[in-house]
Structure 1
Amino acid sequence: MVELPSGEVRPLYLTKDSPFTPVASFWIDTLPVTNKEFADFVQQHSAWRAEQIPALFAEAQYLSHWPAGGPTPQQAAQPVTYVSWFAADAYCRAQEKRLPSVSEWEYVAQASEHSANGLNDPEFTQRILAWYARPATAELAKVGQGIANFWQVHDMHGLVWEWTQNFNSALVTGESRGDSALDQGLFCGSAASGSADPSDYAAFMRYGFRSSLKAPYTLRNLGFRCAYSPEEILK
């Protein structure tokens, strides 16, 4: 894990004049959780095995990419996918951690290789958008193969989408009158793609994906990593 200092993150797809959201100092995994790590977890916590998990907590394809004996050696260092929010949350809690909040995830993800905030770097934003535009591949790369960002965190973009603690809540101002500044044009795909600020469209894509999720969903391109705040007492 790596510790990030307190800071702030711009609310998703609001105007540049919108108030920034403060983010307290926290720790986050430098890599997504791998198949091997998750397999060790389900071996120790049998309730989260594919054959035992209740349908309420995961769709039928939960861990369906694993053979009967668990992940193959080739899959071991790949990010775990086909895992629900409930299972990801249970894994993090078993490590005495938690899933990162949307604001924490966005705070880490806005860093390019050279800056804590790379949203004004057109090359950085275009790389993100290029990944969003690529079809999902059947075979995922191993974690940690790309260049680390400014915080030395890998794979925030370009490998898999990731669960967050409050995935179904918008990172907006939290106050309805303030949210009147929302750029409604970004709800139209053609308008969003033509946005003067490509980072707006990248944020729109993440918000759109998260808002489509439900906690039991298990997708082939959706994984997770854990976070931790020292002052928290996890129950």
Structure 2
Amino acid sequence: MVCIPAGRAVVGADSQRRLERPAHTVELSTFYFDRFETTNRDYDRCVASGTCAPARRLPSATDFAAPDQPVVGLSWTLADTYCRWAGKRLPTEAEWEKVARGGERGWRYPWGNEPPSCQLAHTGGCRPSTTRPVGSLPAGAFGVHDLAGNGYEWVNDWSSACYDGCPGACGEACRGRDPQGPCGGAPFCSLSKMRLLKGGSWFWPASHARGSWRRPEHPESGMHRLSVRCASSYALLATWPPLSSSDPPTKPSAPPPPSQQQHERFNAVVDDADIFQVPVCEQRGGAAADCREPFSYIASNEAEQHLWLPYIENVGGAYVGIGADQSFNFISAARSRWAWIFDYDPTVVRLHYILRAVILDAATPADLVGAFSDARAAQTRKRVRASLGQLPAEQAATIELLGRVREPLRDLYARSAAPSSSAGRFGWLRNPNHYAYIRKLHTQGRIAIRKGNLLTDQVMPAIARSAKQLGVPVRVLYLSNADDQWDMTHQYRQNILALPFDQRSVV
């Protein structure tokens, strides 16, 4: 894939068909674009996996079947399925045009404004009367090949009568930043029955190879000239199943005590005091970007966390997550080497202060449960107060919280430590080895507890910097249900994209 840098791009044309009018400028975020059209070899791997249905190849289409030729005979649905299988997506029309027209240059063709020839484009009248192997045509401004002719390429957008100035115009949906077209490119659209093709093909005249050309087509059409290339918003592709389940990692050894330099890099992440400014929502269940729940989740409401075990077990690396003690379930299963836990609810952060003090004092899960009993309440309170010597401003609020939730925590952790037919060996309190691992990380200072907000430019960017300085990939990122409650703001996206992931990372 080729990285297409963020910036403006000219889309549409004033002097062409109504469908292409008017020319306008859009703003696009950085994205990634396949250098070549999807080949038969690529697509056959998807078919072999059982994910993709075979392309619709006509009886006379043997001239289109070579491994390095672009796969043709794809409906929009087949093209979309392939891109998803590959961990990518279909490009938007605006993205496709940016690549094909040189961005702000607004060229008519990938090479500029010079009229097409069979050396620059493979369209109707050129020989052979079939597709050519990918990479046969010169690259455009961004290093992408075969954007004029060869296979007609599906994009994600629904069709519209024009961009602006006619009945059925796309309007705002095709303007601004990262436009998605009618209905936002959703699976179903009441405004249109047709998806778009771009770039022309070996069959149609050279006019179809114009970058602004738009061809509406029924999504289930799949003639022997319809092809695809994919895009992605991310440099690292997400594939299913994760590598950790198809190629399970070996169990990492316990980490040694970190050096002073490692500690300094790890603890460079500081609290974000702005979380105290986040107001409480007026209603339960209304948590959003600008307010938090009027109650605190001291216990997770996610009952089937064990389903993640096959995907995160022994992946190592670093852990980044929010919420209460469920983070320990994931950290211990993954055997994370470093862990940053943060939350924008001060109560949840204070719960972790309590847990850290108790874990360091409790050798076994049974000891931890007992620390919240009536008989040991005073001892636990003393231990927690002593552990907050470096956080004097938090002592009063944390001790008050302990008094308020001690009994519910005792019952909660007793249940978590009990055998489970469904969860099996999953759980930091259910599995003594997992508990011992969490205790070791806390003893070595490898678990950081921070006040932080997913949506701001404070804690998450700092975690990304620290992880990179430590040379450790983030292998597990746990966001609970934050994505369901909050809009994916620009800063939120930047925070996630800044984290150093690799092929074994699981979100």
The two structures have a TM-score, normalised by structure 1, of: 0.66
Matched, 1:3 2:8: no
Name the residue aligned to 1:223: 227
Which residue identity does 2:9 align to in structure 1?
Answer: V
Conserved 8 A contact 2:154-2:228 = yes
Name the residue aligned to 2:41: 36
Name the residue aligned to 1:118: 107
Secondary structure in 1 aligned to 2:139?
Answer: coil
Name the residue aligned to 1:57: none
Change beyond 3 A, Cα 1:87–1:65: farther
Output the CA distance in 2 between the equivalents of 1:132 and 1:116.
23
Change beyond 3 A, Cα 1:169–1:3: farther
Output the CA distance in 1 between the equivalents of 2:40 and 2:47.
10
Name the residue aligned to 2:154: 163
Name the residue aligned to 2:467: none
Matched, 1:98 2:106: no
Q: Between Structure 1 and Structure 2, how many residues are aligned? A: 192
Which residue identity does 1:202 align to in structure 2?
Answer: R
1:153-190 C-alpha deviation (Å, 9 max, x unpaired):
110113221000115246725438xx9xxxxxxxxxxx
User: Structure 1 regions of 5+ residues with no counterpart?
Assistant: 51-61, 180-198
1:11-44 C-alpha deviation (Å, 9 max, x unpaired):
3233798541222210000000001111111111
Output the CA distance in 2 between the equivalents of 1:130 and 1:34.
18
Query: 4-13 or 155-164, which moves further after superposition?
Result: 4-13
Secondary structure in 2 aligned to 1:97?
Answer: coil
Secondary structure in 2 aligned to 1:145?
Answer: coil
Look at both structures and tell me which one has the larger radius of gyration over its CA atoms: 2
Conserved 8 A contact 1:111-1:149 = yes
Conserved 8 A contact 1:33-1:224 = yes
Change beyond 3 A, Cα 1:110–1:65: farther
Output the CA distance in 1 between the equivalents of 2:209 and 2:41.
34
Change beyond 3 A, Cα 1:65–1:21: farther
Change beyond 3 A, Cα 1:10–1:200: farther
Of all paired residues, the percent bearing the same amino acid is: 26
Output the CA distance in 1 between the equivalents of 2:52 and 2:65.
25
Output the CA distance in 2 between the equivalents of 1:29 and 1:215.
21
- C-alpha displacement at 1:48, in angstroms? 1.4
The two structures have a TM-score, normalised by structure 2, of: 0.33
Conserved 8 A contact 1:36-1:77 = yes
- C-alpha displacement at 1:77, in angstroms? 0.4
Output the CA distance in 2 between the equivalents of 1:217 and 1:200.
18
- C-alpha displacement at 1:221, in angstroms? 1.6
Which residue identity does 1:96 align to in structure 2?
Answer: G
Which residue identity does 2:57 align to in structure 1?
Answer: L
Superposed CA RMSD in Å reads: 4.0
Conserved 8 A contact 1:102-1:171 = no
1:176-228 C-alpha deviation (Å, 9 max, x unpaired):
8xx9xxxxxxxxxxxxxxxxxxx999356x22xx22x0101112222110000
Output the CA distance in 2 between the equivalents of 1:171 and 1:31.
29
Q: Which has the higher contact order (CA 8 A, sep 6+)?
A: 1
Output the CA distance in 2 between the equivalents of 1:102 and 1:38.
22
Secondary structure in 1 aligned to 2:79?
Answer: helix
Higher helix fraction: Structure 1 or Structure 2? 2
- C-alpha displacement at 1:8, in angstroms? 2.5
Name the residue aligned to 1:20: 25
- C-alpha displacement at 1:102, in angstroms? 0.5
Conserved 8 A contact 2:149-2:209 = no
Name the residue aligned to 1:64: 58
Name the residue aligned to 1:53: none
Output the CA distance in 1 between the equivalents of 2:130 and 2:208.
29
- C-alpha displacement at 1:140, in angstroms? 1.6
Query: 151-160 or 126-135, which moves further after superposition?
Result: 126-135
Change beyond 3 A, Cα 1:154–1:64: same
Output the CA distance in 2 between the equivalents of 1:97 and 1:172.
27
Output the CA distance in 2 between the equivalents of 1:135 and 1:127.
9
Secondary structure in 2 aligned to 1:163?
Answer: strand
User: Structure 2 regions of 5+ residues with no counterpart?
Assistant: 16-20, 165-169, 176-206, 235-492, 498-507
